[in-house]
Structure 1
Amino acid sequence: MTQQTDWRFPLASRWVLAAALVVLPLLTVQSVRLGHQVLLRLEGLSTAATDNMQWVMSQAEVEHLKLEAAVHAVREGADLPHLRRRFDIYYSRIATIVESPLFEELRQSATGGALLRELSGRLDRMAELIDVSDEQLLQNIPLVETELITNGDEVRELALFGVVIQVEGTKAKRLKLFSILSQLAWVVLGLFVVLAITALMLARMYRRGRLLAEDRSRAASRMEAMIASSLDAILVVDREGRILAFNGAAEAIFGYSSAEAIGQKMQNLIIPPHLREAHDRGMKRFLESGETRVIGAGRVQLEGLRKSGEVFPVELSLSISQTGQDMVFVSFLRDISDRMAAEEELRTARDDALAGERAKANLLTVMSHEMRTPLTGVLGAIDLLEDTEPSHEQARYLQAMRVSGELLLHHVNDVLQLSRLEAGVDPEKIRVFDLQELVEGLLESQQAMALSRGIDLSLHCSLGASSVVAGRPRAIQQALLNLIANALKFTKEGAVSVDIQRIGETHQVEFQVADTGPGIPEEDQQRIFEDFTMLDASYRRGNEGTGLGLAITRRIVLAMDGQISCESEVGEGSLFTMSIPLPMATAPLDMPDSAAHPQSGSSAVLIVEDNDINRLLLEQMLVQQGQDVTSAAGGLEAVEAAEQGSFDLILMDISMPEVDGIEAIRRIRERKLAEGTDIVALTAHAAPEDHARILKAGFAEVITKPISKRERADLIARRAGKTPALADEPTNENIVQFFEALGPERARGFLVTFCQDV
């Protein structure tokens, strides 16, 4: 799994850096502002300004004294210019104090303001006394002296008060400057901290940037190696269709070098001509509307074009990589020529296997038909011969013939049933039936064999409140019969017990068949359920069979969602256990007497059979049962007979030359002949698909050859509504009557054919 690298800076660090970058300008502006204020305060506290103020104040007092000395020195008119000059200088000193910004604080104070107003008023009065003619000035000298006396004290007081004001102002300015300097110190400290944090974050970013750059370099190298070593062709194409990247696998698959491919139009290079128009339409549709079909659709099977001009199958996966307005298409292409060839081989093998299965099924169908047809004649002839009162020796021979014929039929049925079970075909539907009654009847049918072999065959049922269940009675009967017959076959003397019980309150019913036979070795206890498995397959084996009985039983049980197992001890016997889900059910209502006991009497039956022996034997057997029988040797004769006469039941073979049974019933129903009459298929075809096809054609029922006397009687009762006369003792018909009915030559020919079939 590829590990994805997180290229982003951590969220907390990004927030800290953003905050620092916001605070840093604010602190810088504040530090500049405070620094400017410090400069202004320092300028206000500079020595030059302070000295200038003190000098002006002291000069004002000095000039007052000089003016006072000049006034006292006046004797004559020649002294007046000196006086006026001293007054002008003094006046300028006082004017400076009144107007200069240095003395703003002095002027704003109550005491200082009052002193300045007094000085200004006296100065104005003195100016009026001095700014006169020399004669008048000489006369005003006493008045000027009087003004100067009071003025001197006020000038001195103003100078002292100015010093006090200056000291206090300087102190306040120093405190203000200290406050500003303190604020500036905190701002500078904060600025230093923020700068330190910013520097730290930048250092971390730089270090992380280097790590990320190294990671990206490594990732790029890995990606480059992956692309170079990829078995799939990788193409990077821009939105105009030009190839931007072409890896080594692409070179090997398409036959172009990277230098040849890069910069070329992809559709002109590797897309077959018959697909280029569709490719152009798809690209145009995507760029205009964003609609995608192949892009992001996973693996898509298309065709590619090699440099040699060969068109070959490819598997394509297409995705988009977009950064801002830059969009590229990344294509992964795989040459699937070998896979397609392998799939074609698999399809060919599958088709061959299916053909083999069909051939096997056809073979089984044909063999079933071809074997059942003569078996029908053999067993039918045996039925007729047994009714001719044969001698004891003849009866033994007939019994041997019947056993061999029925054994052969049993083997055919086993093979066909195995084929049906392998195909998963189970035509039997779930029905409600009495399980105990079914099992008791089954054991009763096997008692004769058990007695003949000196075996005690017993049954014990424990089915709870009710023995009526819902299941497949025929399948259960066959599976249980196979186990019982198997136990009887391998047990020379002793006992065979059948135990049936319901497991608690569940749906599971357990069937156990135990015998005292030779037992089965442990290593063979699973193998006996395999097809065609016989533990003694030598030429001297003592029991005949196909080795399919237990295999069929296992398949039957599994088809009913059941389980089967075997436990055995060599020399002690065997125990076979079947567990099958059979839920309890409500017994169906009894049928009315009229339905349960059909009317006795003769029925008009039409037999359609192309095999002369089978047709004759079936005709004779039905005549012996008291039926009015008409025969037809093929489908065409059957249609003509249905048109000319009325029948209670039609028994029709399927495989017949020219017009077969399917075509014959189609013509009969199409021409509305034999309406209301059941047409039953009597055929040697035993495959389920054949039965389904026959029933679909319109037949009321399908009976597989050969058919026993009891089955014939049941069929007539169900389909013709008449109960045939079944005598317990043989009828008076004999072999002589057989020859008389057919004629010597024809009867002899049938018997020769019969012997050949046997």
Structure 2
Amino acid sequence: MRRFARRFPWLAFLIRSFVMFSAAFGGAYGFISASASPTAGYDPHAFAIGASFLFALACVALVTMSIRMRFLQKRMRKVSALNEALVDRNWELKEAEERARHLFEAQDDLIVIRDQAGRITYVNDAYCTLAETPRDALVGSAFELTVLEQGDSAHEPNGTSIHDQCIASATGPRWIAWREGMVRIDANRPAELQSVGRDVTDRTETERALSDARDHANAANRAKSRFLAMASHEIRTPLNGILGMSGLLLDTQLSPEQTTYTRAVKTSGESLLSLIEELLDYSKIEAGKIDLDYRPFALSTLIEDITELLAPRAQARDLEIAAYIDERLPLEVIGDSGRLRQVLLNLTGNAIKFTNKGGVAVIVEPGIWPNEISFIVRDTGIGIASDAQQRIFREFEQADERTARHFGGTGLGLSISERIVKRMNGRITLQSAPGIGSTFEVSIPLVASNDRAEAFLPPDLTGQSVMLVAPQSIETSLIARRLERWGAATCMVSDPEVALALMPERTWRAVLIDRALGADAFERLSERAIPHATQRIGLFTPAMRHELQPTATTGLTGYLIKPLRAASLAKLLDMPAHAQATIEETESTASEMTAGEGLSILVAEDNEINALLMRSLLTRLGHRTVVTTNGEQALESWLASDAAGTPFDLVLMDIQMPKLDGIETAKRIRAREAGQRVRRTPILALTANTLVEDRYACFEAGMDGFLLKPLDREKLEEALKHLATGRQLTV
């Protein structure tokens, strides 16, 4: 009965209502009929009560039926609304299914669905077109496209498989990129494999063409590098003879005309060498072969070495050059000192080249970011126009054609410097105005080294007066700045007469006198009697120092060579006024060390001119030399000296030689030493090759260092000095 009521609620409701009404009506009718009977013993009161009860019962039944009717009407309206919603949803689903079907069919991508047995349950038109088979024939079959080549494959974390295939088609081979994954289309059916393929033939062919082009470019780049290395070697070898011989020729007695011609030859050779270096550096950077060697180095030593190296060039043009390193910076930092030196040499060298009067300052101070150091190169040169300030950082570009013709150069220096700075995670900026000068600022992150570097202790000049008598110049301002940082009350005077008048006025800790004031003014200031014990320190350029008469420095307690080193200035200021201390003592000591101690040196060099140059240079430095022309002779000479008990102190080995090259000769020497000898002979490579792999080959062969051709006389003397003092060779 309950099941019938749930299935037919309206009919069950009508039946219940009819039964209740019939029972109430029948009861009322029977009661009235019985009361109307003559024998019924009619009681009007009982009749009224019964009738009222029956009427109330009928009313309750009617009210109940009315409430149920209203409730059923609400339920019917809800059911009707739900039914309409279901009908609408059904239509939407049908439309979505139809759209999806049309979308699948309209897709250019291949779509195929297979059951777990590999039989096709659905394919779109694109797949049918590629397979050249109608849909009816494909559905239900295990058809597979013909695979010509299998490409790369991969799996995603969600289980999707990705792979490429080269498929045979009527139009030729086509590359298809497939994405395959399990999908459940019907809840009553197991999951099926859906494969979606996209034609990527054009992309694949483009990638392969790019790959082939990249391989060809890499091969061409390697060939270019080999060509540059070979060309560099072939150019450097005769250039070594030109520069070396012109240097030796300048040391002989020549007429003024011959000296001019010889210096022209040497200058031209140095210009050619600079051009080769820039081209090789640009080639390395372009090929991405710029490697950084991070090691601890002293900031002050690097900067002061650069200014001293470029000082002769600046002083030859009557220019000042000076350096200042802020005392707040760490003594040692970790970075590539070689590359930083290259950048600063380029910027400072350009500043000297484009400056006609005034000077160049190299200032090092903390940057705006933590662990950042700013290297500022400021000049008073011709300046750069605003429209050219970005252009000069491009390859083979200069400010204008007139500048290029007048000053020369390749236009590569700034481009190389900018790329090196960016490789070091730094930045390079420029501020310039025509006719005023330029300021290049290189900001690089350099972390302080944990090693404790030896540093000079700056003198405590707090409350003491120092007079600086010198023309207004870059070096003068930087010296005054340094003295003020040390606590001194610095008085800068450019007029000698004013300086003479001020000397007796107060107690001076020191008076610094610049020879640039003139010989007469310098002598009067150095000989002037001062009532208090005062240090008098002369400031000279190397040329001024050589021109001085011995009596010209008798009134001085010491002198310094410009550009000044902070340590040298501090050392003189710390000494008592009566102690005679000069840089000359240090220079003579260094000269004696450079001269060597009569080393026995074996030279392996196949070029006759370079061999003659090496013999002449080493003989002038006081060393004994044996010259061989190939690796076999060098090995024989080394073995003979070892057998005679007079081993060589050093071997200078050319890399490219006939019969036996320098690399193989060095290996054989090291092999003999490992088997028979205790003492290890230092070997330095003489090479015109500048590629990194050539340097690695030298070290792998057991060499201790290398000297680049054209041979730098100062580097050769430095290497011999290290050897003579028992220190490790680091050339």
Question: Same fold by TM (over 0.5)?
Answer: yes
Q: Could you say what secondary structure the match of 2:406 adopts? A: coil
Q: Would you say 1:635 and 2:631 are equivalent positions?
A: yes
Higher relative contact order (CA 8 A, sep 6+): 1
Residue-by-residue CA offset, 1:80-105 (whole Å, 9 max, x unaligned): xxxxxxxxxxxxxxxxxxxxxxxxxx
Pairing of 1:475-486 with structure 2 (within 5 A): 475-486=339-350
Once residues 572 and 590 of structure 1 are traced to their aligned partners in structure 2, the CA distance between those partners, rounded to angstroms, is 37
Once residues 307 and 543 of structure 1 are traced to their aligned partners in structure 2, the CA distance between those partners, rounded to angstroms, is 67
For 1:605, the equivalent position in structure 2 comes to 601
Residue from 675, 688, 693 that aligns with 1:689: 693
Q: Could you say what secondary structure the match of 1:394 adopts? A: helix
Q: Would you say 1:574 and 2:438 are equivalent positions?
A: yes
Once residues 234 and 316 of structure 1 are traced to their aligned partners in structure 2, the CA distance between those partners, rounded to angstroms, is 10
Task: Letter of the 1:468 partner, please give it.
Answer: L
For 2:651, the equivalent position in structure 1 comes to 650
Is the Cα–Cα contact under 8 Å of residues 596 and 622 in structure 2 kept in the other structure? no
Residue-by-residue CA offset, 1:32-86 (whole Å, 9 max, x unaligned): 5676455445434433x6646875x83xxxxxxxxxxxxxxxxxxxxxxxxxxxx
Pairing of 1:215-226 with structure 2 (within 5 A): 215-226=92-103
Residue-by-residue CA offset, 1:252-302 (whole Å, 9 max, x unaligned): 4333343543443233xx254999xxxxxxxxxxxxxxxx99994253223
Q: Would you say 1:363 and 2:227 are equivalent positions?
A: yes
For 1:433, the equivalent position in structure 2 comes to 298
Pairing of 1:464-479 with structure 2 (within 5 A): 464-466=327-329, 468-470=331-333, 471-479=335-343
Q: Could you say what secondary structure the match of 1:329 adopts? A: strand
Structure 1 residues 465, 522: CA separation in 2 closer, same or farther (over 3 Å shift)?
Answer: closer
Task: Letter of the 1:569 partner, please give it.
Answer: A
Pairing of 1:255-334 with structure 2 (within 5 A): 255-267=132-144, 270-272=145-147, 296-306=159-169, 312-319=174-181, 320-327=183-190, 328-334=192-198
Unmatched tracts of structure 1, length 5 or more: 1-20, 59-158, 276-291, 724-758
Residue-by-residue CA offset, 1:454-501 (whole Å, 9 max, x unaligned): 43x243636143562414433333322222221222223344444443
- CA positional deviation for 1:355: 1.4
Structure 1 residues 304, 560: CA separation in 2 closer, same or farther (over 3 Å shift)?
Answer: closer
Greater displacement, 496-505 / 335-344 = 496-505
Q: Could you say what secondary structure the match of 2:277 adopts? A: helix
Once residues 78 and 657 of structure 2 are traced to their aligned partners in structure 1, the CA distance between those partners, rounded to angstroms, is 100
Residue-by-residue CA offset, 1:713-752 (whole Å, 9 max, x unaligned): 22123346569xxxxxxxxxxxxxxxxxxxxxxxxxxxxx
Structure 1 residues 31, 482: CA separation in 2 closer, same or farther (over 3 Å shift)?
Answer: same
Pairing of 1:691-706 with structure 2 (within 5 A): 691-706=695-710
Task: Letter of the 2:639 partner, please give it.
Answer: E
Q: Could you say what secondary structure the match of 2:657 adopts? A: coil
Unmatched tracts of structure 2, length 5 or more: 457-589
Is the Cα–Cα contact under 8 Å of residues 149 and 165 in structure 2 kept in the other structure? no
Once residues 198 and 178 of structure 2 are traced to their aligned partners in structure 1, the CA distance between those partners, rounded to angstroms, is 7
Q: Could you say what secondary structure the match of 2:407 adopts? A: coil
For 1:617, the equivalent position in structure 2 comes to 613
Residue-by-residue CA offset, 1:593-646 (whole Å, 9 max, x unaligned): xx9989962333222223233233223322332333333333333333443323
Once residues 385 and 596 of structure 2 are traced to their aligned partners in structure 1, the CA distance between those partners, rounded to angstroms, is 56
For 2:587, the equivalent position in structure 1 comes to none
Q: Could you say what secondary structure the match of 1:693 adopts? A: helix
Q: Could you say what secondary structure the match of 2:184 adopts? A: strand
Is the Cα–Cα contact under 8 Å of residues 431 and 439 in structure 2 kept in the other structure? yes
Q: Would you say 1:450 and 2:314 are equivalent positions?
A: yes
Q: Could you say what secondary structure the match of 1:571 adopts? A: coil
- CA positional deviation for 1:503: 4.4
For 2:127, the equivalent position in structure 1 comes to 250
Is the Cα–Cα contact under 8 Å of residues 294 and 300 in structure 1 kept in the other structure? no
Once residues 404 and 635 of structure 1 are traced to their aligned partners in structure 2, the CA distance between those partners, rounded to angstroms, is 32
Q: Could you say what secondary structure the match of 2:111 adopts? A: strand
Once residues 642 and 337 of structure 1 are traced to their aligned partners in structure 2, the CA distance between those partners, rounded to angstroms, is 66
Structure-2-length-normalised TM-score: 0.69
Q: Would you say 1:212 and 2:212 are equivalent positions?
A: no
Residue from 372, 375, 399 that aligns with 2:239: 375
- CA positional deviation for 1:216: 2.6
Q: Could you say what secondary structure the match of 1:322 adopts? A: coil
Residue-by-residue CA offset, 1:399-427 (whole Å, 9 max, x unaligned): 22221112211111111222333325234
Once residues 321 and 170 of structure 2 are traced to their aligned partners in structure 1, the CA distance between those partners, rounded to angstroms, is 84
Once residues 396 and 250 of structure 2 are traced to their aligned partners in structure 1, the CA distance between those partners, rounded to angstroms, is 34
Q: Could you say what secondary structure the match of 1:426 adopts? A: coil
Once residues 540 and 237 of structure 1 are traced to their aligned partners in structure 2, the CA distance between those partners, rounded to angstroms, is 73
Once residues 190 and 24 of structure 1 are traced to their aligned partners in structure 2, the CA distance between those partners, rounded to angstroms, is 21
Task: Letter of the 1:643 partner, please give it.
Answer: L
Residue-by-residue CA offset, 1:212-248 (whole Å, 9 max, x unaligned): 2332343234323322321211223334433343323
Structure 1 residues 386, 206: CA separation in 2 closer, same or farther (over 3 Å shift)?
Answer: same
CA RMSD of aligned residues (A): 3.9
Q: Could you say what secondary structure the match of 1:250 adopts? A: helix
Structure 1 residues 37, 653: CA separation in 2 closer, same or farther (over 3 Å shift)?
Answer: same
For 2:214, the equivalent position in structure 1 comes to 350
Task: Letter of the 1:433 partner, please give it.
Answer: A
- CA positional deviation for 1:333: 1.1
Is the Cα–Cα contact under 8 Å of residues 383 and 435 in structure 2 kept in the other structure? yes
Q: Could you say what secondary structure the match of 1:299 adopts? A: strand
For 1:237, the equivalent position in structure 2 comes to 114
- CA positional deviation for 1:684: 1.0
Q: Would you say 1:46 and 2:42 are equivalent positions?
A: no
Larger strand share, 1 or 2: 2
For 1:534, the equivalent position in structure 2 comes to 398
Larger helix share, 1 or 2: 1
Task: Letter of the 1:218 partner, please give it.
Answer: E
Structure-1-length-normalised TM-score: 0.67
Once residues 5 and 278 of structure 2 are traced to their aligned partners in structure 1, the CA distance between those partners, rounded to angstroms, is 94
Greater displacement, 240-249 / 701-710 = 240-249
- CA positional deviation for 1:702: 2.9
Is the Cα–Cα contact under 8 Å of residues 367 and 373 in structure 2 kept in the other structure? yes
Residue from 323, 326, 347 that aligns with 1:463: 326
Is the Cα–Cα contact under 8 Å of residues 599 and 721 in structure 1 kept in the other structure? no
Once residues 395 and 204 of structure 2 are traced to their aligned partners in structure 1, the CA distance between those partners, rounded to angstroms, is 36
Is the Cα–Cα contact under 8 Å of residues 529 and 554 in structure 1 kept in the other structure? yes
Structure 1 residues 304, 239: CA separation in 2 closer, same or farther (over 3 Å shift)?
Answer: farther
Task: Letter of the 1:588 partner, please give it.
Answer: A
- CA positional deviation for 1:351: 0.8
Is the Cα–Cα contact under 8 Å of residues 389 and 399 in structure 2 kept in the other structure? no
For 1:413, the equivalent position in structure 2 comes to 277
For 1:547, the equivalent position in structure 2 comes to 411
Is the Cα–Cα contact under 8 Å of residues 242 and 265 in structure 1 kept in the other structure? yes
For 2:717, the equivalent position in structure 1 comes to 713
For 2:493, the equivalent position in structure 1 comes to none
Once residues 50 and 137 of structure 2 are traced to their aligned partners in structure 1, the CA distance between those partners, rounded to angstroms, is 84
Q: Could you say what secondary structure the match of 1:306 adopts? A: coil
Q: Could you say what secondary structure the match of 2:706 adopts? A: strand
Once residues 598 and 538 of structure 1 are traced to their aligned partners in structure 2, the CA distance between those partners, rounded to angstroms, is 44
